[in-house]
Structure 1
Amino acid sequence: MNLINKKVTHKRFGMGSIVKHNDSVIEIHFASENKKFVFPDVFGKHLKLHDKIVANSLEKIIQKKEVERKEEEIKKEEEKELQRKNQELRVEHEKLMKNHKLHPESQMVFWCDTEEQNSSFSEWKVFSGEIKSGNNKGKPNKPIRLHQNSAVLLTAIDSSMPEKDRRILGVYMVNEDFIGKLSKDGYIPAHSKYRLQLTDQESDQMLFWGYYVNEKYPHKMTWNTGKYRYFDNLWMAQILLDIVSLKSDPKERELAQQFFEHFCKMNQISDQELPKPNGALLRI
């Protein structure tokens, strides 16, 4: 935009005409002397163009620059806030895990039979099963990877359906004081707050194999033996985030969001850097 020789009025210096300008500085000749100002910031509050058409065009440029400036400020603030949160996360994580080595697969997915589909939610605990052979045969399994950062995913499948249709029924963090390697009875109790049960409609939209994959056999969906499997921390975070979006009731959605945030904090996961689900069902 060429503003040379355009007439202006300054609140303090009076009338003048523009003699020079670039993207950052404008020079104006007044009756007594020339003055330089920051461009285009000087317009609006201190300087007014006489030519209305040019003034309107300049106003659009100023508004655009202002929007860009605000967007840049917001971006810097968001980056600063993310750095702050990550720092807090690291500090909290160091405190929480001082005496515990975080395992990347310290979550549990549990296969509920018909009876367990009811008892798991009424009692909010599951049984890890018994050792099948050896000197400890008949004794409860110890879920040694489970710790305060662990969650238990409850799943089931109708007997008439293929394994790929296994549904997620609910999820809970383990009890605040639970340490798997110290478990004696094989039961894994739920956290007093962080526990979620899905409706049938919600469960139909949460298929287990949309998140889980055996990297050795990425297209294979089988579960032939055992009541539980250990589960990747990131996959559990993906599931919790999707549950948040499923919940329509405000209170349930808020609890799901708090659960997700608590889980990410306990597992040192940044929600902004969480990858999209890529389970076996998505690789067919």
Structure 2
Amino acid sequence: MDIINELVKHDNFGEGSIVKCNDNIVEIKFETGNKKFIFPDAFASHLTILDQNIASDMKKIIEQNEIERKKIELEMERKRMLDTQERERRLEVEKFMKSNKIHPSSQAVFWCQEEDIEQVFTDWKVNSGVIKSGVKKGEPNRPIRMHQNSACLLTERDSEKPEDQRKIIGVYMVHETFSGNQCEDGYIPAHSIYKIRLTQEESEKMLFWNYYINKRYPQNTTWNTGIYRYFENIYMAQILRDIVYLKPEGKEKEIAQNFYKHFCKMNNLVENQIPQPSGVLKQNNDAVAEATV
């Protein structure tokens, strides 16, 4: 907008004319001398352009600038909130690491039934079921090993396929404030950030039994009964690392990488010292490969 030589009126200095103007400063010549003002903010308060058409255009500029200013303020406030939340999370992690002894098998894998899968990913929570026998029969089954270092692995198996074809379909860290000892309803909610759903194609490449081995029955791929079971922290780290490899470059890989780093930190694991998977399915496949050489 060209406003050089336009006449203006100031609340204190009276009438004057604009002699210079850039994106930040407007200089006006008054009888008492030249004065500089912030542009265009000054026209929102004590300066008025006498030409009504130009004054109307200036008002639009000021209104647009105010909108942009509020956007910037909101973004800065959002960033401050995120920074505060991140600091709080770090403090929670430090507090947990100092006050808790990490169980080596404090992760849980869940068998998601086909009809429940979409609800699980909508609500981002699973249920540990109820106690089947004893004096507490029917009460929610508290996942007492699970704390802020724990993750829930979500799996499914096509009823027409054998157990060794169980697929990993998603994974999430438990909520930042979760404690299995205090879980009264059996529901395990997800972390606000660290949660991943795999695509159908990705799931086909992530078979659960490539990572898991039942120490009591090391040759078997048998789920038996129950909605969930605990398994080793190191197995979960292997799974998360492979998800990082699996994800394409971009936002999803970044999320997976951050998830993996966070998990290793929460479980006192060194990222570059995680061994390769050696689940029963992988062992069997390797044995077959060696036999054919």
User: Given the two structures, how large is their TM-score scaled by the length of structure 1?
Assistant: 0.66
Partner of 2:141 in structure 1? 141
Once the two structures are superposed, residues 151-207 of structure 1 have per-residue CA deviations (whole angstroms, 9 ceiling, x without a partner) of 000000000000000000000000000000110000000000000000000000000
1:96 to partner: Cα distance: 2.9
Runs of at least 5 residues in structure 1 that lack an aligned partner in the other structure: 1-91
Partner of 1:233 in structure 2? 233
Q: For residue 191 of structure 1, what is the amino acid of its counterpart? A: H
Secondary structure of the residue aligned to 2:148 is coil
Cα 1:119–1:249 shift into 2, 3 Å: farther
Partner of 2:21 in structure 1? none
- The Cα RMSD (Å) is 1.5
How far apart, in 2, do the equivalents of 1:217 and 1:283 lie? 14
Q: For residue 272 of structure 2, what is the amino acid of its counterpart? A: Q
How far apart, in 1, do the equivalents of 2:154 and 2:95 lie? 29
Secondary structure of the residue aligned to 1:97 is helix
1:273 maps onto 2:273 in alignment: yes
Q: For residue 98 of structure 1, what is the amino acid of its counterpart? A: K
**Greater CA drift, 128-137 or 163-172:** 128-137
Report matched runs for 1:13-24 at 5 Å. Answer: none
1:93 to partner: Cα distance: 7.3
Partner of 2:221 in structure 1? 221
Once the two structures are superposed, residues 1-59 of structure 1 have per-residue CA deviations (whole angstroms, 9 ceiling, x without a partner) of xxxxxxxxxxxxxxxxxxxxxxxxxxxxxxxxxxxxxxxxxxxxxxxxxxxxxxxxxxx
Q: Is the 8 A contact 1:108 1:229 kept in 2?
A: yes
Q: For residue 103 of structure 2, what is the amino acid of its counterpart? A: H
Secondary structure of the residue aligned to 1:164 is helix
How far apart, in 2, do the equivalents of 1:269 and 1:249 lie? 25
Report matched runs for 1:166-181 at 5 Å. Answer: 166-181=166-181
1:219 to partner: Cα distance: 1.6
Q: For residue 106 of structure 1, what is the amino acid of its counterpart? A: S
Greater helix content: 2
User: Given the two structures, how large is their TM-score scaled by the length of structure 2?
Assistant: 0.64
Cα 1:94–1:232 shift into 2, 3 Å: same
Partner of 2:282 in structure 1? 282
Q: Is the 8 A contact 1:93 1:268 kept in 2?
A: no
Q: For residue 168 of structure 2, what is the amino acid of its counterpart? A: I
1:99 to partner: Cα distance: 2.0
Partner of 1:199 in structure 2? 199
Partner of 1:121 in structure 2? 121
How far apart, in 1, do the equivalents of 2:179 and 2:157 lie? 29
Partner of 1:261 in structure 2? 261
1:108 to partner: Cα distance: 0.4
1:146 to partner: Cα distance: 0.3
How far apart, in 1, do the equivalents of 2:281 and 2:220 lie? 9
* Fraction of identical pairs, as percent: 58
Q: For residue 100 of structure 2, what is the amino acid of its counterpart? A: H
1:249 to partner: Cα distance: 4.7
Secondary structure of the residue aligned to 1:103 is coil
Partner of 2:153 in structure 1? 153
1:218 to partner: Cα distance: 1.7
Once the two structures are superposed, residues 205-252 of structure 1 have per-residue CA deviations (whole angstroms, 9 ceiling, x without a partner) of 000000000123222100110000001000000000000111115000
Paired residues in the alignment total 194
